[in-house]
Structure 1
Amino acid sequence: MDILRWLIDAFNAHIDFGNGQTLVVREVVGNIFGLASALGGMRRKVWAWPVGIIGNALLLTVFLGSILDPASTLPHLLGQAGRQVMFIAVSIYGWVRWRQTKGQTGEAVEPRWASWPTRIGLAVVMVAGTAALTPLFRELGSYDPVWADAWTFVGSLLATYGMARGWTEFWLIWVAVDIVGVPLLFSAGYYASGLMYLFYGFFTLVGFFVWWRRSRQTASTIQV
């Protein structure tokens, strides 16, 4: 029973900053796993996917807010919570795909540009998906502005799928997600995730240029 109580206390551990401001410890840990996964993705390593799944599972419990933690004063962001479930599902797909294409160097995929029809399709899904999910998330009681929650959900789905496919543009989709998601997280009181995603915004730009350079090298090799 002591071990069980310790596990429960560890799961619900908070850092109190006073004035009613608290930070959920597992939110910090989940984002650390997410950062490690992003670094692995930039280097095109298969281990990025299972590491990311661990982080997603932790953050899922955080964004459900008071649903899982009665003592929590944070609102539940259904789009943020739902996208952790989506992350896990798409990450399993990416994990399998990258394992199948893994080369002897350990780099699992060759970055390439998506076709223009694919780019247009991604843009259409981004806008249409946000419009379709906004009223649903509102009915379920997600935090305002609800469209921002829906935007981050749809964008995260497209970015994760693009990473699995090896499209260089997936980094730019993450930038679009962060531009909307960071203010949303701060306004809802999820400060650890907000700070982490603010850092992600810069990190994704670095990742984009790394993959862009690699895609140019690959294209030059094919032409030769």
Structure 2
Amino acid sequence: MNPLHWLNSEAFTAFGQHIIWSDMIGNTVGLVALALGWLRSLWTWPAQLLSGVVLVAANVSVHQSGSVGKQLVIIVTAVWGWRQWTSGRRRAADGSLAIGFATWRERGLLLLAAAVGTAAVGGLFTAYPSLSWNPWPDAYVFVGTLVAMVAQARGLVEFWFAWLLVDAVGVPLNFTSGLAFSGLIYLLYGALVLWGMRDWWLRSRQSGRTALEGAPA
């Protein structure tokens, strides 16, 4: 049995849903990657890259081409995110990752990119049905994931909000696509995102107060 065939073979059945190895392994690694992002660890990016590679196999098995594209984008963005977090521009004075809230201009650009990107990708999937059987939700998750990762790479607290919005569509999409483990993991993502959001929010407020206290009178 070749590795790809094994990855897409059934691991077990739960509640009438067939769980395949690639779906289970890829999403478990993805959950670890999100936890590492919460901790602001550089290892979040290699973990996201590995998760993306494994989940390509899972999405190929259910002919979810849009999600295959999403995973390929995740792989490329993970490399870029690693470079962003290791650059001096993303580091605070104590060497830790500098995090904070986006400016209104940055928020506007992220929202515009999400809207235009979803319209473009959704239109592409609609024009070529072989790419996705559920074009608009697939496009929404595809573009939303990219926007979230770009915001994460820039150390913006808003990346947690973006993940919540992706989860809202990603959970039912994965269940209806036959990737039950992905759906279950996305539910865990939601809880972890809320905790991570609170942590980054509090750290950003503390960083802001420290900067104000250190400013000259």
Tell me the TM-score normalised to structure 1 length: 0.86
Counterpart position of 1:157: 146
Matches within 5 A, 1:1-224: 5=1, 7=3, 10-17=6-13, 21-65=17-61, 74=62, 76-101=63-88, 107=96, 109-138=97-126, 139-224=128-213
Q: CA deviation at 1:12?
A: 3.4
After the TM superposition, which parts of structure 1 deviate over 6 Å for at least 4 consecutive aligned residues? 103-106
Once residues 161 and 53 of structure 1 are traced to their aligned partners in structure 2, the CA distance between those partners, rounded to angstroms, is 14
Which amino acid in the other structure matches residue 121 of structure 2? L
Q: CA deviation at 1:7?
A: 3.9
Identity value in percent:
34
Higher mean C-alpha displacement, 143-152 vs 189-198: 143-152
Once residues 4 and 133 of structure 2 are traced to their aligned partners in structure 1, the CA distance between those partners, rounded to angstroms, is 30
Secondary structure at 2:31 match in 1: helix
Alignment length (residue pairs): 210
Tell me the TM-score normalised to structure 2 length: 0.89
Cα 1:162–1:135, aligned 2, differ >3 Å: closer, same or farther? same
- What are the Cα deviations for residues 144-187 of structure 1, in whole angstroms up to 9, with x where unaligned? 43110000011100100100000000100010111011111111
Q: CA deviation at 1:142?
A: 3.8
Q: CA deviation at 1:14?
A: 0.9
Structure 1 gaps, min length 5: 66-73
Once residues 184 and 48 of structure 2 are traced to their aligned partners in structure 1, the CA distance between those partners, rounded to angstroms, is 18
Secondary structure at 1:214 match in 2: helix
Once residues 87 and 159 of structure 1 are traced to their aligned partners in structure 2, the CA distance between those partners, rounded to angstroms, is 10
Pairwise CA RMSD of aligned residues? 2.1
Is the 8 Å Cα contact of residues 18 and 180 (structure 2) preserved in structure 1?
A: no
Once residues 212 and 186 of structure 1 are traced to their aligned partners in structure 2, the CA distance between those partners, rounded to angstroms, is 31
Which amino acid in the other structure matches residue 49 of structure 1? W
Is the 8 Å Cα contact of residues 67 and 142 (structure 2) preserved in structure 1?
A: yes
Is the 8 Å Cα contact of residues 8 and 57 (structure 2) preserved in structure 1?
A: no
